[in-house]
Structure 1
């Protein structure tokens, strides 16, 4: 046996290697456990402290994303002061901050008072007592593309100052690189939302708006009250809504109810309905009532061109689809403007480069006087009297020409009747037209109106406001207008109209200026009128001719209508002065011829009417009648020289015998004829042409 042979030292025991591996594993496990304990301790320490060291990092990161300073401290706190900030990462993610302040962007204009208390100049927003909670699984789901669900957003108080300059710069707008793609608004769902108190000071130069608003909100709704001034007029606003949570969730299908009351100066708007997107005003369906001193005051802040009118009250419905860039739809159930009653359906497209208004304007009645302010005529009687106190009646208030370039429009006008004023017994009924506004060129064409039984008025009117002065063109034609139906001719019971017959004619006119008075003062054109199948009061004719005997006789036995053998007027208008080429009325009794001039520039009247009898009259002065003065104060007088030429011989003969005094007043007449009237019209026209050529 080899008991004495020694063991081989190269041969190891089988337990050596496993023992060392165990030690390595144990040491690794111990190190991992130590790291876990350290991490847990650090996490516990961070949770206990609220992770204050992340506040500074988040300030820098958020400031870079927003392009302006953001801090978790009050605006007036010194730099480096400790933020009232606490973050919890265990369980639901929760952020609590005593303050959040957001500064104005770089280059913003100097702050203008007033500002909410505690918000110094240079800062846009200061929020206090923020509380934000969300779950980690909701955050992970949002990373996968699902809507971001936030369990709670709570704010104790907000103070903000919103300021916009005339050039469009606003302190609430975030800067974005020109090449940065537009990102859709993220879908957000909030479980609980509340704001106990908010105050916002607004100074908007483009809207001429200065306001101070107080508001609060929670899951049940929003309440807002605001006061201030808009375009130098007092402003008051009250808004109450249902829960605002659907508005925050992008693409929400559920609309939210609201009630709005807005008073700006004398304009009052009340609306009640539902809207899906409050800020974008999309998915809107609301009824409204609107009243105010003029439609133009409503259009100004909206960038719309609406006419200056008398006071109005309107009610209807406003609709807008939820889709982006959807047009506005207005169903105007009723609008009372002065005495006018209008309605209509309109579509306003604000997504185009220029706002586009289309639709149909209907009306039971439109009084022309209610649109008088659009051409400078004061709406109130006292203002009209004051405007005429200087002896002028043509409106000289300048047009707002730039307003015609704010939008384009294409409207169909359909009126049951157009009331022209107190001088007319019957309205124009009905009236159809097309109204177009294209790059500051306004046109009313395809005009077709019926007057009385069988009368028609057609034509077009245009106003080009592209230059410093507006250019006006008019082309109107009247056919068969019955004067006895159209003109108001008040007479004693049983007496016929002063004048009757079918009026036809045409008006071609153009001018330029910045007011109605300037347009007429520069007018060039022609007005031609004629009456067929007509009759004229013999009493009016004899009175015009100062035929005392026949006028007295008619007063005793009654007036009668004389047939008009011809009645024509042809007026030439040059540089605002209207001169009759021909203006005459001929009956079997007398011929009346009018000449002279009417200046639309100075409103001076320089007209003379001569009456030539066709029959015998025993007591006739037959002297010309002069119409002088102005349109506001016309003065009618007898030509004293012609009157003396008749009365002086009569007075001298009266010295011989009283009966002889009547001899100069006897008028044998000229026994006129139809052919004589037509020949005279031709002679007068030719003479006028010669005078015009001589000038």
Structure 2
């Protein structure tokens, strides 16, 4: 028997102390290896039942992994489920939020501790997706147990889907859309700019027929915080009579952040965009526009805007910023040529009918539909438009837009040359200031204010016209082409209503007209004075011109009734005095003009001229009562000698010059324009 010495015992103890860390390390490695093997070979299918019950209990909806479950653990766990069913809440139309042949879902574990569901990546094969929104805020994808609660919405980073269907329903938006989608396996999804993912959608949006189709990259970016390169997209969509085509890229699908695309749009009426996307624009004829569309934050920009609105061209840039308390539309728009017929829908008149579509650089301008061509038309000789101006929607957003037209065509009643206006809309108050129109060689300037917050809307108009040339003011009258002289006009009216006809029928204020000195066609005056000899001289030797000394007319306007304060026109040949009324409510007029020629002439019958009728059907004729006495005298003299009948028509010229200085002072006195 050998006894250990003290020295050997000490050595063994030291050796044991040196070996225990190694043994511990080996034990930990074995344990970790065992855990890894457990994780790798763990029969996750054992947990399908508990997981199904747990998710169903927490969400209050049926959840089931129907065939096989596998999990890959890490900071982001990956759940692979063959066969998955996740029901919608009971109030939804579609039975399932998601039902798929296979799902691969990445789940970040740490956010789960605070109740957040973060899914960096989701892959679905042959999914059926049912999304529904209710007016009270309920959404099928909000994972609250109580269906009246908005619940927790998963934060999905990237979505890859193949061969599936989606149904989106939102009754308050008039939306019921079904989408079929899939990935073209023949297209290499890793090639930059590739568009393997295609979709086709049909249904309704805002209760109008909706259709869309397009292609994108295969990996859809949904999470606002996900940072990846923008993926390409091509899109064609239609809603009602509005068509949109776009090609470019998009950074995030859920927020539409990073949109950068060339877009084309056409339709029957720009005002339709209010119902579709909430942008307030005026009624217009059919249009086609294109531009470079981008989005950053809450702001959409359209740069390089070009197109056609009816027969008018458009260019410029616009910005729509929905980031404030109220959305703001701003920008500058120009037209090289504005066809005045294209402004008819703005004031409630029918657009000019067109035949067939027109192809332009911006796209196809649709023809005016039969329904649009009838809008605003009136019967019975009435001309003022009665179509309701939808002024209530002016409260939907704000605006700050400048518009200018270098040249204006196709307007005979008021020969506009050019125009520019600054449109400012603030909390329902629409102000056109300054408003500057080039008319007949002169200008009409002033402002228009529309307060849509009042019911009915309140409108005030203050316009002053200066230096309008007579020969350009009446281009359709041949006899005026050799006439000139300047015309000034002032309009100061306030009214309330929702159509042009209603506004004028309730207008209050005053108007004034002044004609300055210049040459004026005598033929027009001879017709007014029924001076037959001068008319005969015109046809035999040509028109005679006389000098216009001055002229003016002023009207008080009370509740749509214009009553003359005075009507005077004075030339070297004739003085015309008059009075009358114009009823804007029923569009009738009755004006009496009393000419007093200053020269002696045969065939002059100094009878008043009556102008009456409606705006659509006016008539002018001599006062038969005033003519009766003189006509009887002519007949009596004619019984004695036919030549003596002419004596009763001799005008001795009792007319006197009008006080032009006083007329100029009273009628043309400028007043400050209140803004």
TM range (shorter): 0.7 to 0.9
C-alpha displacement of 1:130: 1.1
CA contact (8 A) 2:552 2:667 kept: no
Helix, strand or coil at the partner of 1:206: helix
Paired residue for 2:460?
473
- Cα 1:171–1:466 change in 2 (3 A) is same
Helix, strand or coil at the partner of 1:653: helix
- Cα 1:281–1:98 change in 2 (3 A) is same
- Structure 2 Cα separation of the partners of residues 183 and 205 of structure 1: 21
- Cα 1:633–1:129 change in 2 (3 A) is same
Residue deviations 1:555-596 (CA, integer Å, cap 9, x gap): 100002211111111111111011121222211111222321
- Cα 1:100–1:379 change in 2 (3 A) is same
CA contact (8 A) 1:72 1:97 kept: no
1:349 pairs, out of 303, 321, 324, with 321
Q: Quick check: 392-401 or 274-283, which moved more?
A: 392-401
CA contact (8 A) 2:376 2:387 kept: no
- Structure 1 Cα separation of the partners of residues 57 and 491 of structure 2: 69
C-alpha displacement of 1:671: 4.8
C-alpha displacement of 1:88: 5.3
- Structure with bigger gyration radius: 1
Matched, 1:503 2:487: yes
5 Å matches for 1:99-118?
Answer: 99-104=84-89, 108=91, 111=93
- Cα 1:507–1:142 change in 2 (3 A) is same
Helix, strand or coil at the partner of 2:493: strand
C-alpha displacement of 1:288: 0.9
Paired residue for 2:16?
none
CA contact (8 A) 2:378 2:385 kept: no
Matched, 1:589 2:578: no
1:155 pairs, out of 112, 116, 124, with 124
5 Å matches for 1:633-672?
Answer: 633-672=617-656
Paired residue for 1:460?
447
- Cα 1:448–1:682 change in 2 (3 A) is closer
- Structure 1 Cα separation of the partners of residues 111 and 433 of structure 2: 62
- Cα 1:153–1:231 change in 2 (3 A) is closer
Matched, 1:54 2:20: no
1:69 pairs, out of 52, 58, 61, with 61
2:584 pairs, out of 566, 584, 600, with 600
CA contact (8 A) 2:409 2:417 kept: yes
C-alpha displacement of 1:292: 0.6
CA contact (8 A) 1:501 1:533 kept: yes
- Structure 2 Cα separation of the partners of residues 451 and 610 of structure 1: 30
Paired residue for 2:265?
290
Matched, 1:522 2:506: yes
Paired residue for 1:405?
395
- Structure 2 Cα separation of the partners of residues 175 and 486 of structure 1: 71
Paired residue for 1:395?
385
2:287 pairs, out of 308, 312, 315, with 312
- Structure 1 Cα separation of the partners of residues 380 and 595 of structure 2: 33
Paired residue for 1:438?
426
Matched, 1:610 2:599: no
CA contact (8 A) 1:563 1:588 kept: yes
Q: Quick check: 87-96 or 399-408, which moved more?
A: 87-96
Paired residue for 2:192?
none
- Structure 1 Cα separation of the partners of residues 597 and 305 of structure 2: 59
C-alpha displacement of 1:641: 1.6
1:422 pairs, out of 373, 393, 412, with 412
- Cα 1:567–1:498 change in 2 (3 A) is farther
CA contact (8 A) 1:207 1:301 kept: no
Paired residue for 1:376?
348
- Cα 1:293–1:385 change in 2 (3 A) is closer
Residue deviations 1:122-159 (CA, integer Å, cap 9, x gap): x342422114277x9x989999xxxx998x95433222
- Cα 1:503–1:679 change in 2 (3 A) is closer
Paired residue for 2:366?
none
Paired residue for 1:98?
83
CA contact (8 A) 1:434 1:446 kept: yes
Paired residue for 1:251?
226
- Structure 1 Cα separation of the partners of residues 209 and 603 of structure 2: 70
- Cα 1:674–1:352 change in 2 (3 A) is same
C-alpha displacement of 1:162: 2.7
Helix, strand or coil at the partner of 2:229: coil
- Structure 1 Cα separation of the partners of residues 643 and 513 of structure 2: 45
Matched, 1:200 2:166: yes
C-alpha displacement of 1:672: 2.6
1:559 pairs, out of 543, 549, 559, with 543
C-alpha displacement of 1:522: 0.7
Residue deviations 1:371-414 (CA, integer Å, cap 9, x gap): 32232112245745982223322111222232101101122333
Paired residue for 2:250?
275
- Cα 1:534–1:512 change in 2 (3 A) is same
- Cα 1:198–1:243 change in 2 (3 A) is closer
Paired residue for 1:576?
560
What is the TM-score of this pair, normalised by structure 1?
Answer: 0.78
5 Å matches for 1:184-263?
Answer: 185=155, 195-217=161-183, 219=189, 221-244=196-219, 250-263=225-238
Paired residue for 1:21?
none
Which consecutive residues of structure 2, in runs of 5 or more, have no partner in the other structure? 1-8, 10-26, 190-194, 354-369, 669-675
- Cα 1:537–1:249 change in 2 (3 A) is closer
- Structure 1 Cα separation of the partners of residues 588 and 298 of structure 2: 55
- Structure 2 Cα separation of the partners of residues 181 and 227 of structure 1: 29
Residue deviations 1:175-208 (CA, integer Å, cap 9, x gap): 599999999957x5x7xx7533222233323332
- Structure 2 Cα separation of the partners of residues 627 and 657 of structure 1: 35
- Structure 2 Cα separation of the partners of residues 385 and 664 of structure 1: 54
- Structure 1 Cα separation of the partners of residues 205 and 398 of structure 2: 26
What is the TM-score of this pair, normalised by structure 2?
Answer: 0.80
Paired residue for 2:360?
none
1:84 pairs, out of 58, 67, 78, with 67
- Structure 2 Cα separation of the partners of residues 378 and 445 of structure 1: 26
CA contact (8 A) 1:327 1:347 kept: yes
C-alpha displacement of 1:625: 2.3
Paired residue for 1:622?
606
CA contact (8 A) 2:554 2:667 kept: no
- Cα 1:169–1:641 change in 2 (3 A) is farther
- Structure 2 Cα separation of the partners of residues 141 and 520 of structure 1: 65
C-alpha displacement of 1:481: 2.4
C-alpha displacement of 1:236: 1.5
C-alpha displacement of 1:209: 2.3
- Cα 1:472–1:387 change in 2 (3 A) is same
- Structure 2 Cα separation of the partners of residues 588 and 133 of structure 1: 96
- Structure 2 Cα separation of the partners of residues 224 and 394 of structure 1: 49
- Cα 1:487–1:600 change in 2 (3 A) is same
Which consecutive residues of structure 1, in runs of 5 or more, have no partner in the other structure? 1-13, 15-31, 74-82, 112-118, 686-695
